[in-house]
Amino acid sequence: MIKVFLVEDEVIIRHGIRDNINWEENGFSFVGEAGDGEYAYPMILKTEPDILITDVKMPFMDGLELSRLVKKALPETKIIILSGYNEFDYAKEAIKIGISDYLLKPITSANLIEALKKVADVIIEEREKSKLLERYFVSYEKYTEFLDKTDYSGVDRKLIEDFLKLGSLEECSSFIEEYFAAVGEHNYKSLLLRQYMTMDIFYCVQEFLKEIKIKSENVPEEKKDIKLLPKSIDTVESTKNYLKELFSFALQMRDNVSNDRYSDLIEDAKKYISNHFQEIK
């Protein structure tokens, strides 16, 4: 179960959220609530929720200050901000703190559940990666300690996803080279960083293949089995080659799917024209 803690100074709203969501049915455990940040903070440290839902404007300690403290003490906790203020400064500060979502009031139970499930998916994925990292590579703690000493901010998932959707096979090699250049030689020379970076990209590709409905049996073992990954990233060049092959495969599958759909459309068009031509005659 994903643990959720709620901070909201308006009693009616707080109780409404608490009582109108079937937490367990949606995979969550409601572990506590509070009416302001100052009162909430020690409770949050005690319960260590996976997700914190907090209002922005509250007495004594507002939601942004609470979020800063929680992110410092419990960096793995995800935070969803609820706000009645559609102001850029609030949203900008929330992004700087590392907020997972920023929802404007009034908000329905359905919208909040949707936001919670998206954040929960991220948490579950991170946990799986952490387990795999510790099983096949190094401890997650060592990796995070290493990250603190570098200027590497993690895989740019949006860039990866955009290339998978819009890139061409001919661009795979140059894309990887440019991506590594952006990461920085002083970063990618570290085996530890290459391990985590490659694993993160690996998952981006797996999600993309699922999205375009590629069946698992049509994916070669070396393109879907995370256990084979360590053998592919011993050196910088082997890592680049592995990723080029992985992207090339994903783009080939994407193009095949697109061609199949295009062919189906052409066949449907031919049948339509043929049938209507017969009617005209």
Tell me: do 73 and 22 sit in the same domain. yes
Strands 101-104 vs 28-34: parallel, antiparallel or unpaired: unpaired
Q: What is the mean pLDDT of the chain?
A: 84
Which residues span the domain enclosing 188? 157-276
**What is the edge-to-edge ordering of all strands in the sheet holding 51-55?**
28-34, 2-7, 51-55, 78-83, 101-104
- Quote the pLDDT of residue 280: 42
- Pairwise CA distance, residues 243 & 197, whole Å: 11
Same domain, 82 and 200: no
Q: Are 107 and 203 within one domain? A: no
Write the pLDDT tens digit of every residue in 170-219. 999 999 999 998 888 888 888 878 887 888 888 889 889 988 888 888 88
**In whole angstroms, how far apart are CA 34 and each of 44, 179, 188, 270?**
10, 44, 44, 64
Residue 281 located in a structural domain:
no
Domain boundary among 106, 140, 174: 140
Q: Which helix (H) or strand (E) holds 94?
A: helix 88-97
CATH of the domain at 118: 3.40.50.2300
How many domains does one find in the chain?
Answer: 2
- Distance, in Å, from the CA atom of 59 to the CA atom of 92, rounded to the nearest integer, reads 21
The pLDDT tens digits for 116-163 are 999 999 898 888 777 766 665 555 556 556 556 666 666 778 888 889
Q: Does 197 lie in the same domain as 169?
A: yes
